[in-house]
Structure 1
Amino acid sequence: MTKANDLMVSQTHSSAWVIQTWAAFIISLGATGLGICYLPMDGWVKGYLGMGLAFTVGSTISLSKTTRDIHEAQKLASRVDEARVEKLLAEHHPLK
């Protein structure tokens, strides 16, 4: 009999995917930063836009970490509940 935990395989990302995501992040952040630097505006406007970009990146990283932590906590709670149910079923087997 196959358990649900046996079917859950830890997903690992390929090195190509990791490189692509880091490259996309660096290119987009760099291009936006260069765009802000070369805007024909005063320095305080560029500074405001740069701070906005920095806060956007920081809050995005925090949001993704929080979302991941919530997901992992729910997976752990599900495994604990499943283990309790399996133990209960094993203890109260009708043929014993």
Structure 2
Amino acid sequence: MTTPAAKTTSAYFAQAGIAFAVALLSVVLGIVYLPVDGWMRAFLAVGVMFLVTSCFTLAKVVRDAQESAGLSSRLDQARLDRILAEHDPFKEPV
């Protein structure tokens, strides 16, 4: 028995993209209008860029691990199905 692959709707994809854009824009505007020296702004900007790229990397790693687990699970299920199909309970042991 296989489980259907989860499909992301275009509305969900758009909502995620808009939420990301709004969050990133608000942080960037907060850094720009922060009443501190330029080097402090630069440090915060580099920190935000590192955080964003780390989030993308983490999401990709989690997705790849989930896909890999699903693939190995399907392979294990196929092997089990083949063994059960080839098994004859009435066959005399050799």
| TM-score above 0.5, yes or no | yes
| Aligned Cα root-mean-square deviation (Å) | 1.1
Partner residue, 1:80: 75
Once superposed, which parts of structure 1, at least 4 consecutive aligned residues long, lie more than 3 Å away?
Answer: none
Structure 1 gap ranges (5+): none
Q: Please state how far the C-alpha of 1:93 moved relative to its aligned partner.
A: 2.8
Partner residue, 2:31: 36
State the number of aligned residues: 91
Distance 1:80 1:18 in 2: 30
Distance 1:37 1:93 in 2: 73
Q: What CA deviation, in whole Å up to 9, does each residue of 1:12-53 have, x standing for no partner?
A: 112111111000000000010000000000000000000000
Which structure has the larger Rg? 2
Q: Percent identity?
A: 41
Give the alignment's TM-score, normalised by structure 2.
Answer: 0.92
Structure 2 gap ranges (5+): none
Partner residue, 1:65: 60
Give the letter for the 1:28 counterpart. A
Give the alignment's TM-score, normalised by structure 1.
Answer: 0.90
